[in-house]
Structure 1
Amino acid sequence: MTLLTLELFEILRGFSSLVPPNSLIFPTRLSSSLIHDFFLTSILTSPHFKIFPPSVQYQKQFWKWAITHLETLDGDEASASTDPRIYDHYISLMPPPGPALGSAKIDSRCLQGLPLQVPPSQSYVTHFWRVPSEGPEYHVPGGTINTTEYETVTLLESRTTIESGTTGLRTWLASFVLSEYLINHPADLVRNKRILELGSGIGFLGIIVASLQQDVSPKNTSNIGLCMSDINEDILQRCKENIQLSSSESALNRNISYRIIDWSSALDPETLPSLYQLIQGEINADLVLGADLVFDPTLIPALIATIKLCLQPKHVSSTSKTIPKMALISVTVRNQNTLTTFLSLAQGAFFLSSYNLPLLTLKYTGEHLRVEELKKQSQTLFLETIENNNHDNVKLFRFSLQNVSM
């Protein structure tokens, strides 16, 4: 069991998820020995961070920040009381001396002769999470945290917005919002479910789902499954590697598959039959998930057509009964017109006449599409570092297709 004060746990979460150090709060009310022991034991010599360390660039910033504060704890004697291993590690992060001015290695210098800035390298990122309990949560002021009560999600991800021509190599805020919604409703949404994620990216949401399935579904059941999908083979391979990292419960889930899904196939009469066979015949998901898929207006028609295909009711063998399906889609509203286009095209795809958020029930012959804007948490368990944790920009929708009497 590892117990930490709230202040130290927040630093641990910040370090593991690469929060800029100037956004972290250094504890001042705790004893210097407790603080030193935390930095040494929970971070520097942590077995987890030995295997899955944050990038060198981030560690340099973090340890410079930490050492600056550690040296102010005990006045003039602070540097003597700081463990030398901390200094040694910080020095080891420094780059080797660059070529001298005027050297032949011009590729490492700009036109002014200064060293070129190295782009951010890929990094392991670790997030702490747990299913809510009846007791105090981690954010209760003055609380003590038992870190063994938390699960972790560890991924290797890009630290740039776009890499190799895609935005799919890092985790975005919409994934955190949808993940927390699932964490808060595991029995209703995940237990005994077959789940398909569209646009899985590097796998954050899938790791949460796979871990929840391990936690809340009966063992050795054939009813559950998780299919991760993307159009980019390299991204899907990274997704698979992240899910299989030994740091996560998801690595124990043996009911995971990976498929290339091109949404445009849902609009092409020649490719639609094979896509239908994949989605309805092979995957046959009860729940469809998608995070931050609505960003390019030109992709929306294909996305809507794919969601529509996924929502076709599941038929129970040997009976005439059908089981309705559901889609949960989290949307980051970067452009209001794009969201309007998404909802408008959903209207057209399902032959609907009008809509009115946040709750709407729209009918057409024999069926209706029910779209709800769901209530989400004001903040998530997860620390996001690129979109300023602007949760107001993320909307969460539930789509379901149901039979009605006309």
Structure 2
Amino acid sequence: MTLKLKTAFWVALSSLAGLSVTVGGVAAQSGCETVDGPRCYEKLPTGIEMSYLEVGPKEGPAVILIHGLTDNVRSWSTTMASLHEINPELHIFAVDLRGHGRSSMPDAVTCAPAPENCFRPADFAHDIVAFMQSKGIEKAELAGHSLGSFIVQEVALTHPGMVAHAILDASAVSGVGNVALADYVLKEPIEGSWRAALEAKGKSYPVDFYELTPADADAKVGEWLAANWVVDSAADPAFLVPYIPETASVKLGTWIGATKALLSQDNTERLKEMSVPTMVMWGLQDSIFVASDQEAIKGSLAVAAKKFGQPIYFKEYGSIPLPESGFQESDIGHNIQWSAYETIAKDINAFITTDKPTNDLVHSDAAPNVQNLIVVPDKAFVEMIGE
């Protein structure tokens, strides 16, 4: 049985209600292990009730997986299962960020007039720190995707003693001026067709939009999401199907607030003070944080590596660069963990146990078999930053 089949079998088996699964001789915690089962909840002093998944022994090293903009714990679910199979001693969490998945929204009275003031990386980071403190976790391995990577940066920069390793999946130093976020999310559809449709119904932007959803603005929003947002040519189409209704239900306050806040975040100078071991993972066909963003993050982290002497690695996924269209077409892109979750899990485990990722290259097969991923040992581009 291949690793992918074994992982799928484990996910299906462990999702049966009330079942406690034993992998590698270590009993997993029952109750909220898989994305299609129940969730656990933690009421935080920040005012957020955080939804999360949890697997592995409570005494094991803690790993917290943090998703991206408008995502939820599903984003890391297959990686979580693979990582648990690889290293069943780890105590792994995947969390729904504020305003995402099944976690609560921040207070509307305070936040609706200017949602960007309640969805900054710092606000999300406060929730992660509060979650760790509520769960009695003194130090954790933090892995974040896209927006989640900025949250990992924030926690590592403000609370370095709480972060064992910082793992940045599809990251950048700055969201300022990002074309994908500015033109293809905020300008249209948020402040374009969605805003126009709701203002035509007498709603005032952004206050009246806060608790509404994209479906309130566009009855056919699922079609737009499937064509423009919940898209990954290298991922299993079946994995993406549940994302459509889940993303359509994310409140507009979250869409507006998190997008605007990320467009205002610039960590170019701050990342030069990164004092914890860090790994950056980037898909060659990432159309959101592109090659120039990777040179910038490597530049800031190189200063940190020389200053603090911590291991900092950059690893590429895929073998075909972003095409002239500017969109992912034929290889691994922005959502690395949606497609290459087995290799991502191996790299996370390798980094937190040995301070460096594997050298395995994972890339898509030739079109039209883009979803068939090929792993080539010892062929990945892996760079030790600051060396």
State if a TM-score over 0.5 links the two structures.
no
Higher RCO structure (Cα 8 Å, ≥6 apart): 2
The structure number with the bigger radius of gyration is 1
Give the TM-score normalised by the residue count of structure 1: 0.30
